[in-house]
Structure 1
Amino acid sequence: MAKQRTNALSDVLDQLEAATHSGSIEVQEVIEKLGHRSFASLMLVFSLISTSPASAIPGITTIVAAIVFILVVQMILGRDCVWLPRFITRRRMSSAKLCKGIGWLRKPVHFVERFLDVRLTFLFHRPWLWLPLVAIMALTLFMPFMEIIPTSGSIASAVIALFAAGLLTRDGRVVLLSLVLLLAVPVSVWYFGFQG
């Protein structure tokens, strides 16, 4: 059972790739493909998009930050079904760039999956789950400003993706690691971006 869960990340990439078609794809199509109850999958997908070469799409970091913020708020409130405003769901992304990003992510995702397992599951219950969720919510507020610092938005998105991967595969150790990194990202970005 645990082994099946460790393949969940690749399954999400497969679902996203299956949703792409010629031209461009709407955010709403991604949501429908992954499911309206798949908070972790949606958080993983959009944060990975912002981590991959697809992040070259202008404004993608800001869009991803807005999506993740809204998802986190709904998770904290205990909603069962994902809701996003129309101005986000109607946004379109280049299918070619998205597919390129998915292809780029395959290797690192396969590598990470080798180390995932179901453990420390108490971290997925309240109030423990609120700690990383609040940290992510705070981080997304700074992500639009990170677009002016090269790669910083991608680093922040990668940490969010790590949390989503832990949530999706029920790996509490990964969630703990993501929490530590979430607290370190703003400090690192400030130091290397403005002091370095």
Structure 2
Amino acid sequence: MKQQQGALTDIVDELEQASRNQDKVQVGHLIDALDHRGYGPALAVLPLIELTPIGGIPGFPTLLALTLASIVIRLLMGYEHFWAPQWVRRRHLDSDKVMTSLEWLKPVSLRIDAKLHERVKRFAGPTGRRAACIVILLLLLTVPPLELIPFATSGPMIVIAIFGLGLLYRDGLLMLLGFAGAAIAIAGGAWGLLAGGGSG
């Protein structure tokens, strides 16, 4: 839709505003910066942050998974606004690292905004959204154990970002791609954990 052109880039800009001119940024401030935009933007942008340099911080993928789980549960239950536990909201991230990650995301968001649009809307409707929520929660369950394997948490986060972009742009084709990607990510994560356990 026309009003969605620049949507993802605008969201990255808002996160930059929430992170600027301070040494540390609270996770809660980033959540609040996304809240008025809706669930699609949060599920599109937050998983992509895991792919940036900040995703390499030990424990960050699990913290991100917990944050996303609290958001997805609210979406599944039909609430209009986000919620996250206070102990998650109070966690601090280094502002410089957040800004570096958002600067890395900016050209990516510009390309995404130029390419995506509304397609096959029926797959991005209420039924598709509920199904996506359940699949996303399953993907998030794999993140903490996958932190033991270098770069393994990126697979689930990419799939979650695909779902978020599908919701943001009402792109049913992306939603279908998300379901296919989820099956691959879950199977790959299970194989990786079994292989890792067997080698130990």
TM-score strictly above 0.5: yes
Per the alignment, in what secondary structure is the counterpart of residue 177 of structure 2? helix
Match status 1:135 vs 2:143:
no
1:29 positional shift: 1.0
1:36–1:87 Cα change, 3 Å? farther
1:41 positional shift: 2.0
1:100–1:130 Cα change, 3 Å? same
- Is the CA contact (8 Å cut-off) linking 1:43 and 1:161 kept in structure 2? yes
1:162–1:173 Cα change, 3 Å? same
Query: Can you list the C-alpha shifts for 1:23-75, whole angstroms capped at 9, x where unaligned?
Result: 11001111222235622222223212212111022211101111111111111
Query: Counterparts of 2:7 and 2:167 in 1: how far apart (Å)?
Result: 11
1:17 positional shift: 0.7
1:14-163 to 2 correspondence within 5 Å? 14-21=13-20, 22-36=22-36, 38-163=38-163
Query: Counterparts of 2:153 and 2:52 in 1: how far apart (Å)?
Result: 11
Query: Number of matched residues?
Result: 195
Query: Can you list the C-alpha shifts for 1:120-139, whole angstroms capped at 9, x where unaligned?
Result: 22223332222221111111
1:172 positional shift: 1.4
- Is the CA contact (8 Å cut-off) linking 2:65 and 2:143 kept in structure 1? yes
Query: Can you list the C-alpha shifts for 1:122-172, whole angstroms capped at 9, x where unaligned?
Result: 223332222221111111011111111111112211211121112112111
1:160-179 to 2 correspondence within 5 Å? 160-179=160-179
1:52–1:132 Cα change, 3 Å? same
Q: 5+ residue gaps in structure 2? A: none
- Is the CA contact (8 Å cut-off) linking 2:139 and 2:156 kept in structure 1? yes
Give me the TM-score of the superposition, normalised by structure 2.
0.89
Give the counterpart letter for 1:97 in structure 2.
Answer: K
Per the alignment, in what secondary structure is the counterpart of residue 18 of structure 1? helix
Q: 5+ residue gaps in structure 1? A: none
Query: Counterparts of 1:192 and 1:107 in 2: how far apart (Å)?
Result: 32
> Kindly, what percent of the aligned residue pairs are identical?
29
- Misfit runs of 4+, over 6 Å: none
Per the alignment, in what secondary structure is the counterpart of residue 14 of structure 2? helix
Query: Counterparts of 1:35 and 1:192 in 2: how far apart (Å)?
Result: 35
Per the alignment, in what secondary structure is the counterpart of residue 142 of structure 2? helix
Give me the TM-score of the superposition, normalised by structure 1.
0.91
Per the alignment, in what secondary structure is the counterpart of residue 119 of structure 1? coil
CA RMSD of the aligned region, Å?
1.8
Query: Counterparts of 2:91 and 2:31 in 1: how far apart (Å)?
Result: 12
Query: Counterparts of 2:144 and 2:87 in 1: how far apart (Å)?
Result: 17
